Amino acid sequence: MDRLFKCFYVDLDIFPDFFFHNVLIDMNDNVLIFWENVKKEIKLQNTTQEWVAHNSGISFNTFQGWISKGIYPRVNEAIRIAVSLNTSVEFLVNGAVQNNKKSVEIICEHLPKIQEHLDQIKEAVKNLQ
C-alpha cells in the first residue's frame, strides 16, 4: 500500500508559481463561463434565479452564494440546474450546443419498429384479459 502512494508522490516545489496561478485562473474563468451561461439561459427563458434554484432542489441562498463566490455546483446539482433550464451541462460549462442530428435520425428510423412492438404488446395484454 505504501508503495502505491509513493508512486504518486509529486514534489510541488518543482513547479513554478505561475503554473498554479494559471491553473487557478483557468478554473475561475470556467466557473464564470458556467454561471454566465446559466444567467443567459435564465434571461432567455424569462425566469428567475430563485425559480431555477427551487426547481433544482437547491436553496436560493446556496445558489446565489455559488454565483457570487464563483463556485461550481456538484455534478448532480449542475445536472439538476441544466434540467431546470432545459439544456445540457455541457452547454452551461462551455456554451457548446451538442449536435444531436444523427441521434435523432437513428431514433426516427427505429420508431416504426418500436410502435409495431408496442402494438403487439398491447394486443397480447388485451388477449390476457
pLDDT tens profile 7-58: 444 444 444 444 444 433 345 567 888 999 999 999 999 999 999 999 999 9
- What are the structural domain ranges in the chain? 2-96, 99-129
Per-residue pLDDT of 77-101, as tens digits, reads 999 999 999 888 888 988 876 666 6
The pLDDT, as a whole number, for residue 63 is 96
CA distances (Å), origin 40, targets 44, 50, 125 = 6, 14, 48
- How many angstroms separate the CA atoms of 23 and 13, rounded? 16
Supply the CATH classification number for the domain 2-96.
Answer: 1.10.260.40
- How many angstroms separate the CA atoms of 110 and 5, rounded? 50
